[in-house]
Structure 1
C-alpha cells in the first residue's frame, strides 16, 4: 500500500526499529519501521519527525510495517530553528493526542500549511495558535466568536469565557465568573477560530499575546478532554 503523509511521531522500538505515526489526508497510520536506526538504513530519512514522505507499507499479523520510503519535503529550515522546532513538537503532540480518523480530513490542510509556513519563517507562535484553534474546532470544542454565547448579542462584546464557551456581551457579563478582555484579545480569538488555511499567514500576533492564549486554550482542552500537552512547557520557557 502506498501512502503520502506527514510524520508526526517517531518512537524508538528495540535497538534498531521505530514506531511511526503518519497523518495522511484521510487517515492516520501507525507502523513499525524495522532497521531504520541503523546507519546504513535507506529509509531513515523518510520517517524522520515532521517530514512529508511517500511510503510503501504492508499489513501483516502484527499490523503495518514499512517497506520503502521517499522524502517529499524535509522542512529542514523549520527544524533548524529552535522556536519553529518547538512549535512543530507542539503541533505533533496535539495531533497525536486528540485527532482521530474521523477528524483527520478536516485538520490535514492546516497541518500541512503549518509545516510549510514554519519552513518559510512565518511567526511560529501565531501558527501554533491558529492550528490549536482549528484542532479544537474539528474535535467539537470550538468557541463561539461571532456573538455572545449567552445572549446572542453581536455588539458590546467585553469578555471571553472558556467555561461558557465563547464571547460575552456586557448584558451577559457576570463579575463573579467573567473577566474583562481588551478589544485586541477579543479580535485575536475571533481571527484564530475563523481562520481558513489561506489566512494562516495573513497576520502575526505578538509572542506574549500568543503565549497567554495558548495557555488558556491548553487549560480549556485539559478541562474538556483531559489532554495535557507536555511540549507547551518548553515553549513557555523558551519564548
Structure 2
C-alpha cells in the first residue's frame, strides 16, 4: 500500500452532502472516530455507493492529504444494517445513529464502536429494537462517565430499600434519602429494568425484551437527563415517542 494511503474499518454514522454529488462522511471504527471526503458518492453509478451509506459496516481505503485529511479512494461494504420493513427498528436505528454522532467523544469511540456493532447485529437478528437501543444508550452514558448509579443509593450508598430515581443526583435513591418534593418513586419493575440497562454486558444485548410501554418513557427520561447535563437535543426521539 502506498505511504499516502490507509485502510480503515468502520460504520458510517453520518453523511453531509456537498456540491451535487460529493459528501463529507463521518464514521466510527475500532480505532475511533474518523471522517473523510467522498467524491461523486451520491451518483447512482458510483462504485462506492453501497460502502458509504449510513448504517453500512465497511472497509475503506483512504488517501491522506497534505494536511492529514482523508479522501475516499475505494470502499467495500462488509455488511449493511439498513431496514425498510420494520418501523420500530427504523426509528431505533435513526436514534442510535444520531446519538452516536452527537455524544461519542474521541477517547470513548473504540468502546462505543464495539457496542454499536453488537447493537446493530442484534437488531438485524430480530432482537427487540427498543430494548437494544436503550441498552446502547445506557452504555454510551456509562462510557461518557455520566451513567446512572444503579448499584446503591447515590446519596448514602445504601444497597437496600431502594425506592426512587433521582436524575438530578445521578442514580437510585433509598427510602431514607427520598425527598417527596423533588423525587418520584419508581416501581420495583422500573428499577429492575434500569439496573439491567446499565449493568448488562455486551453479550446480553439479544437476551432480553421489555415492552414498548416500559421502554418509551425511559427513552424520554434518559434523553432529558442527557440534555440537562450536556445540552444535547435528540431530534429522533420524537419518532420513538410516536411508536
Task: State the TM-score, normalizing by the size of structure 1.
Answer: 0.96
Unaligned ranges ≥5, structure 2: 1-5
Tell me the number of residue pairs that the alignment of Structure 1 and Structure 2 aligns. 237
Aligned to 1:218: 223
Asked if 1:10 corresponds to 2:15, the answer is yes
Q: Quick one: distance in 2 between partners of 1:147 and 1:235?
A: 30
Partner SS, residue 67 of structure 1: strand
RMSD: 1.1
**What is the rounded CA distance, in whole Å, between the counterparts of 2:196 and 2:17 in structure 1?**
39
Q: Is the 8 A contact 2:32 2:113 kept in 1?
A: no
Q: Deviations over 1:33-53 (max 9, x none)?
A: 100111211000000110100
1:51-101 C-alpha deviation (Å, 9 max, x unpaired): 10000011214621100000100124x354222122111111111111122
3-state SS of 2:203 partner: helix
1:65 alignment partner, one of 62, 71, 75: 71
How far, CA to CA, are the matches of 1:110 and 1:79 in structure 2?
A: 23
| Distance (Å, rounded) in 2 between the aligned partners of 1:89 and 1:201 | 19
1:26 touches 1:101 (CA, 8 Å); kept in 2?
A: no
The 1:79–1:5 alpha-carbon spacing in structure 2 relative to 1, beyond 3 Å, is farther
Is 1:130 the equivalent of 2:135? yes
Counterpart mapping for 1:106-121 below 5 A: 106-121=111-126
Task: Give the whole-Å Cα distance in 2 for the aligned partners of 1:167 and 1:223.
Answer: 18
Structure 1 residue runs of 4 or more that deviate by more than 4 Å after TM superposition: none
Residues 100, 79 of structure 1: alpha-carbon distance in 2 compared, 3 angstrom cutoff: farther
SS in 2 for 1:200: helix
Q: Give unmatched runs, 5+ long, in structure 1.
A: none
